[in-house]
Amino acid sequence: MSMKNKQPKTKVKLGKLEKREARAGYFFIAPWLLGVVLFLLYPLAQSFYYMWFNIRITPLGTKFNFVGTGNFTQIWLENPEFPQQLVTYIWQTIVEVPIIVVFALIIAIMLNGKIKMRGFFRLIFFLPVIIVSGPVMNMLVSEGAASIPALNVQSVVSAFDTFLPRSVAESVGEMFSNMIMVLWYSGVQILIFLSALQKVDPSLYEAAKIDGGSNWECFWKITLPTIKPMIMLNAVYSVIFLSGNEQNELINMIEAAMFSGTKEKGYGYASAMAWMYAIVITLIVGLFFLLLGSKKDVYDRQVKKAQRAQKKERRLQKKIQRRGKRNARNIESKLKSNKYRTHESSDNY
């Protein structure tokens, strides 16, 4: 593309209506930005500062004693319960998240079909999200409503203990013991899958059925690729929800360390535990993102490959043109020098 065909970029000025709409947009997101700054960024920075200190609250005020990495060393060397709970949490999350996502997808596909009282069943599956939370969940768990009475958890742990490490087997057994509670956590995921399924174009299924595709093939070739971004979204949401749930032992442990009256523990000790826990959560989210993240389509790869080949060809053409111009200048200069020498020799003669 030559320089003559390039047009200078002109800065487009916004009109009055567009400026007013932009101001309205900033006005509506201002509460969210304020909430992020006050309730997310500021507490994060404060806890990051606290974890390097041993903090004690005295009648004379709060005393900060810089200990560096002393809180982390104390956690790993003197508190064996925290690493054990951390390993248990990792295995439980890796096992429970796929179960929640798969269960939510199956229920969403069923609720998306043409069945009677469809709205009522949707309400039934979403109702635990509203009711089973906070004190209600604690009361149900204490009464044993979150577990299956007829299931012998110890036999499940013994069966998995034969070919899995003890910590992994206990994590799987814990998941089976709280199977009902795990399924209660799938209400939001069902709603997300349901909204994604309703946006799939029905003509795709009709065309596939005309070509002889079965329901199973339609699911693998149409439904699953279309809702794949929602699968990753639900997996990440499930990880975050399980990590901040009130039934999580690590959350209770961090809270107990924060309000402990001992000299060793306190806000700094709890902040160090919270940051290590946050790093583990981030790694788990990154793992699910690598497994379920959207990969580039084959057609997109071919298009980009063709574009790279075109760029390479254009660079080669420009190189050939520059080389041709350089050779032409050299030849022209040689002809001029030869002509000058011939003229001088004729004058001498």
Alpha-carbon span 280 to 77, nearest angstrom: 19
pLDDT digits (tens, 9 = 90+) for 172-204: 666 666 667 777 778 888 889 998 998 888 888
CA 210-215-216 angle, 5° bins: 125
Q: What is the DSSP string of 284-313?
A: HHHHHHHHHSPPPPHHHHHHHHHHHHHHHH
Where in the chain does DSSP place strands (E)? Answer: 53-58, 61-66
Alpha-carbon span 324 to 347, nearest angstrom: 35
Quote the pLDDT of residue 283: 93
At which residue do the structure tokens 């009677």 appear?
Answer: 116
pLDDT-derived band at 3, boundaries 50, 70, 90: very low
Alpha-carbon span 304 to 296, nearest angstrom: 10
- Kindly give, in sequence order, each residue whose CB lies less than 8 Å from that of residue 85, ignoring residues fewer than 6 positions away: 249, 250, 253
pLDDT-derived band at 1, boundaries 50, 70, 90: very low
Task: Output helix, strand, coil percentages for the chain, rounded to the nearest 5.
Answer: 75, 5, 20
Q: What is the DSSP string of 91-117?
A: HHHHHHHHHHHHHHHHHHHHHHSS-TT
Q: H-helix or E-strand containing 144? A: none
Alpha-carbon span 327 to 59, nearest angstrom: 89
Alpha-carbon span 195 to 104, nearest angstrom: 12
Exposure on the CB side of residue 131, measured as CA atoms within 13 A: 10
pLDDT digits (tens, 9 = 90+) for 147-171: 666 555 566 667 666 766 666 666 6
b/e per residue 3-39 (b: at least 16 CB within 10 A): eeeeeeeeeeeeeeeeeeeeeeeeeeeeeeeeeeeee
pLDDT digits (tens, 9 = 90+) for 87-108: 888 888 888 888 889 888 988 8
Quote the pLDDT of residue 2: 43
Q: What percent of the chain stands above pLDDT 90? A: 14
Could you tell me which of 194, 225, 196, 193 has the C-alpha nearest to residue 208?
225
Task: Give 280 or 339, the one with higher predicted confidence.
Answer: 280
- Kindly give, in sequence order, each residue whose CB lies less than 8 Å from that of residue 212, ignoring residues fewer than 6 positions away: none
- Kindly give, in sequence order, each residue whose CB lies less than 8 Å from that of residue 208, ignoring residues fewer than 6 positions away: 217, 218, 221, 222
pLDDT-derived band at 30, boundaries 50, 70, 90: very high
Structure token pair of residue 304: 């980009």
CA 233-238-240 angle, 5° bins: 95
Quote the pLDDT of residue 113: 81
Domain boundaries, the chain: 49-78+248-294, 81-247
- Kindly give, in sequence order, each residue whose CB lies less than 8 Å from that of residue 294, ignoring residues fewer than 6 positions away: 228, 229, 232
Quote the pLDDT of residue 4: 45
Determine the average pLDDT of the residues in 298-322: 83
Quote the pLDDT of residue 279: 93
The model carries a pTM of 0.71
At the second CATH level, the architecture of 81-247 is Orthogonal Bundle (1.10)
pLDDT digits (tens, 9 = 90+) for 67-94: 888 889 988 888 888 888 888 888 888 8
In this structure, are residues 261 and 112 in contact, taking their beta carbons and an 8 Å threshold?
no
Alpha-carbon span 3 to 5, nearest angstrom: 5
pLDDT digits (tens, 9 = 90+) for 242-270: 888 777 888 888 888 888 877 778 888 99
pLDDT-derived band at 41, boundaries 50, 70, 90: very high
Q: Does 345 have pLDDT greater than 70? A: no
Query: What is the 3-state secondary structure of 207-265?
Result: HHHHCCCCHHHHHHHHHHHHCHHHHHHHHHHHHHHHHCCCCCHHHHHHHHHHCCCCCCC
Report the mean per-residue pLDDT for the chain: 80
Burial class (CB in 10 A: 0-12, 13-18, 19+), 190: buried
